[in-house]
């Protein structure tokens, strides 16, 4: 008997699918209004999480920028497959939803086909091959290989980041064209996450193979590299899928048809997005069923189709929401280290650890790797763990070699930076040395430099380890003073960039005046601290004794101009055209910067050197043996 009141719309599923799309659109447009927001389209990617987990087990490192939330979502997806069904594919996956929409268009245009038989079975191998390649390269490089081709990631990031156009564009075209003409083309044949999901469907053989590998490698001591395990799991998944096209033990929830209530109208067959022939079976065991319950909703006969023989059409969507909520909550509170490494023998050593939070330069696998490499060079440090989400590091050390202060000093990266100095200042430079709270991280120090740049009288900044960090700020007393500097440092926010590129960074540095010192230094002392001098020998300088050479010295104010530093190699190259010139030095004297030109008396003269310096063009030579004329950027007072 037809039930007229029963809804024919799968509201649960549509709400979740549209919820995901609305979230993605929000992430896309939010940067227009919020310059500080950077959309992370992988933030909730379970596939990335699974790859990260694999790379963590194999190399104790997480793939770049992956967090525990993605890993928790990956685990939730696998649990969902076993205890419920392929819920992610059905309710969440944006590519799956998009493919379905394109498929509807193809059907309306009467250009949609369902592949069957051996072609259908053979094409299913592609997704397992893609899964193998993606996992292999992710685990070996700790970089998410799927970013190169993932149609979702490429489209939503605007082909930026790690996207490889040669992979991504064909993948997107294939997904669009394939989904239009062939039913769920991406999901059935290409999706590597679909391959993992189906391996999870065959959880018992997959678990047996994995257990055997663990026993052979850990107990029997055989050397069987993990890519072999991965390969066997992929092959097993494909063989089970292609030969049976059926669920075995899992998943636990299935669509059941009650023949006594069924009128064999075949509406369910037509409405099933995976083209499963439901009207001819008692229980839907087809491997492609993802428990979308569209068939249950569209069936006109009340009770003819159910979930596990009960009216549980709400259960898959409710389970999806609960699993995602639990995974995000667990992933948010618990974080796996991005890198966890120990080195050296800890036998008989007193191993201590310190934890430091808020290190903004710990932001991905690459920065964690360079941090670990740096700490490996510190005597007494035995291991590190990094946590990118909380910007945290834990460092293990041998207390008999180094103490916690020493470890902190080793973590600290001092900064020495010209701020507004352009080569001209009075004879003396003022300075103030202050403690700056909340400025330990290299990023913080660079933000401190940017805050100071807004005060045109600040000339340079250098930082030194201390608790709080010690910053020496050099300034021109004719243009600013200590109070202005303290105000600049204490600004709550730093605005960087202009127009659409503008971002606001919360700084919140606190000036700590305990132990404050201030004073003046001669300008040459300041220059020696911040400006690189030149000292280059050439034309066989070392073959001449001092009595064969003279030094021609003249004032050279431009040597103190940071902007002119880039031209010094051109001057040296040009000077080397005169065989008699053998060395060029710049020196910052109390009277001012000078250039010293060493020359061989018998080979050149001061007149020749003067005309070389006055030339309107320099002839410079490049390492590839080519030469070029460039305009002389210097002015010499000859």
Cβ neighbours for 391, distance < 8 A, ≥ 6 positions apart = 357, 358, 359, 360, 362, 363, 441
Q: Count interface residues toward ligand SF4 (CB under 6 A).
A: 27
Assess contact for 520 and 476: CB atoms under 8 A.
Answer: no
**Closest by alpha carbon to 150, among 191, 197, 100, 116?**
191
Tokens (6 digits) for 261: 């209530």
Nearer to ligand SF4, 39 or 267 (CB): 267
Query: What's the CA gap between 12 and 6, in Å, rounded?
Result: 14
List 125, 195, 304, 511, residue binding ligand SF4 (CB under 6 A):
304
Query: What's the CA gap between 10 and 12, in Å, rounded?
Result: 6
Nearer to ligand SF4, 282 or 535 (CB): 282
Q: Please identify, among the stretches 59-67, 145-153, 264-272, 346-354, the one whose residues bind ligand SF4 according to the rule CB under 6 A.
A: 264-272
Q: How far is the CB of 209 from ligand SF4 (least distance, A)?
A: 27
Assess contact for 381 and 396: CB atoms under 8 A.
Answer: yes
Nearer to ligand SF4, 127 or 290 (CB): 290
Nearer to ligand SF4, 148 or 298 (CB): 298
Helix ranges (H only) for 182-225 are 185, 192-201, 203-214
Query: What's the CA gap between 112 and 103, in Å, rounded?
Result: 7
- Using CB under 6 A as the binding rule, whether residue 313 contacts ligand SF4 is answered as no
Q: Please identify, among the stretches 206-214, 243-251, 291-299, 574-582, the one whose residues bind ligand SF4 according to the rule CB under 6 A.
A: 291-299
- Using CB under 6 A as the binding rule, whether residue 257 contacts ligand SF4 is answered as yes
Cβ neighbours for 31, distance < 8 A, ≥ 6 positions apart = 37, 38, 39
Nearer to ligand SF4, 1 or 219 (CB): 1
Q: Please identify, among the stretches 68-76, 290-298, 529-537, 573-581, the one whose residues bind ligand SF4 according to the rule CB under 6 A.
A: 290-298
Cβ atoms within 10 Å of 197's Cβ, excluding its own = 28
User: Which helix or strand (DSSP H or E) is residue 474 part of?
Assistant: strand 469-475
- Using CB under 6 A as the binding rule, whether residue 78 contacts ligand SF4 is answered as no
- Using CB under 6 A as the binding rule, whether residue 305 contacts ligand SF4 is answered as yes
List 8, 30, 246, 264, residue binding ligand SF4 (CB under 6 A):
264
- Using CB under 6 A as the binding rule, whether residue 201 contacts ligand SF4 is answered as no
List 115, 125, 291, 587, residue binding ligand SF4 (CB under 6 A):
291
- Using CB under 6 A as the binding rule, whether residue 293 contacts ligand SF4 is answered as yes
Tokens (6 digits) for 195: 């391959």
Q: How far is the CB of 174 from ligand SF4 (least distance, A)?
A: 22
**Reduced to 3 states, what is the DSSP secondary structure of residue 299?**
coil
- Using CB under 6 A as the binding rule, whether residue 301 contacts ligand SF4 is answered as yes
Query: What's the CA gap between 483 and 486, in Å, rounded?
Result: 5
Q: How far is the CB of 152 from ligand SF4 (least distance, A)?
A: 21
- Using CB under 6 A as the binding rule, whether residue 187 contacts ligand SF4 is answered as no
Nearer to ligand SF4, 127 or 392 (CB): 127
Assess contact for 89 and 187: CB atoms under 8 A.
Answer: yes
Residues in touch with ligand SF4 (CB under 6 A): 255, 257, 262-268, 272-274, 276, 278-279, 284, 289-295, 299, 301, 304-305
């Amino acid at each position: 008997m037809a039930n007229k009141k029963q809804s024919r719309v799968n509201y649960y599923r549509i709400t979740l699918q549209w919820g995901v799309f609305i979230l993605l659109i929000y992430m896309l447009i939010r940067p227009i209004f919020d310059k500080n927001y950077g959309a992370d389209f992988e933030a909730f990617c379970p596939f990335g999480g699974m790859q990260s987990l694999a790379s963590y087990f194999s190399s104790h490192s997480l793939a770049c920028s992956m967090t525990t939330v993605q890993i928790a979502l990956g685990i939730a997806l696998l649990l969902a497959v076993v205890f419920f069904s392929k819920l992610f594919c059905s309710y969440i996956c944006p590519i799956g939803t998009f493919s379905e929409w394109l498929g509807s268009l193809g059907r309306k245009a009467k250009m949609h086909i369902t592949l069957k038989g051996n072609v259908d079975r053979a094409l299913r191998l592609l997704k397992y091959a893609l899964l193998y390649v993606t996992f292999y390269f992710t685990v070996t490089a700790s970089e998410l290989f799927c970013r190169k081709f993932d149609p979702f990631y490429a489209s939503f990031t605007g082909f930026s980041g790690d996207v490889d156009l040669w992979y991504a564009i064909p993948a997107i075209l294939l997904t669009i064209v394939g989904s239009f003409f062939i039913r769920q083309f991406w999901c059935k044949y290409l999706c590597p996450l679909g391959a993992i999901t189906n391996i999870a469907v065959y959880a018992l053989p997959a678990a047996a193979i994995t257990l055997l590998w663990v026993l052979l490698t850990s107990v029997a001591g055989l050397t069987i590299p993990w890519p072999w395990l991965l390969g066997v799991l992929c092959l097993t998944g494909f063989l089970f899928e292609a030969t049976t096209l059926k669920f075995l033990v899992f998943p636990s929830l299935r669509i059941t048809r009650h023949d006594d209530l069924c009128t064999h109208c075949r509406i369910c067959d037509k409405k099933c997005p995976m083209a499963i022939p439901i009207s001819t079976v008692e229980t839907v065991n087809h491997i492609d069923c993802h428990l979308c319950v569209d068939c249950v909703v569209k069936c006109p006969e009340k009770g003819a189709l159910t979930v596990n023989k009960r009216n549980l059409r709400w259960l898959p969507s409710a389970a999806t929401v609960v699993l995602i909520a639990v995974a995000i909550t667990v992933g948010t509170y618990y974080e796996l280290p991005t890198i966890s490494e120990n080195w050296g023998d800890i036998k008989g050593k007193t191993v201590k650890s310190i934890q430091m939070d808020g290190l903004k330069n710990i932001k991905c696998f690459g920065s964690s790797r360079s941090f670990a490499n740096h700490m490996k060079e510190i005597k007494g440090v035995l291991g590190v763990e990094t946590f990118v989400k909380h910007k945290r590091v834990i460092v293990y050390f041998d207390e008999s070699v180094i103490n916690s202060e020493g470890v902190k000093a080793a973590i600290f990266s001092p900064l020495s930076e010209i701020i507004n100095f352009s080569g001209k200042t009075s004879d003396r430079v003022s300075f103030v040395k202050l403690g700056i709270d909340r400025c330990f991280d290299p990023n913080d120090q660079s933000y401190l430099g940017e805050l100071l740049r807004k005060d045109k009288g600040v000339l340079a900044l250098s930082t030194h380890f201390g608790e709080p960090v010690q910053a020496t700020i050099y300034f021109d007393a004719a243009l600013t003073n200590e109070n202005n500097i303290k105000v600049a440092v204490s600004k709550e926010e730093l605005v960087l960039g202009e127009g659409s590129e503008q971002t606001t960074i919360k700084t919140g540095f606190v000036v700590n005046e305990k132990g404050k010192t201030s004073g003046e230094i001669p300008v040459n002392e300041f220059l020696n601290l911040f400006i690189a001098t030149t000292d280059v020998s050439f034309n066989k300088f070392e073959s001449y004794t001092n009595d064969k050479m003279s030094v021609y010295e003249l004032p050279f104010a431009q040597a103190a101009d940071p902007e002119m530093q880039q031209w010094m190699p051109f001057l040296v190259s040009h000077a080397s055209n005169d065989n008699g010139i053998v060395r060029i030095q710049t020196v910052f004297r109390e009277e001012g910067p000078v250039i010293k030109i060493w020359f061989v008396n018998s080979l050149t003269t001061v007149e020749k050197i003067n005309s070389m310096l006055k030339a309107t063009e320099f002839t410079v030579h490049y390492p590839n043996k080519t030469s070029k004329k460039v305009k002389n950027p210097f002015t010499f007072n000859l």
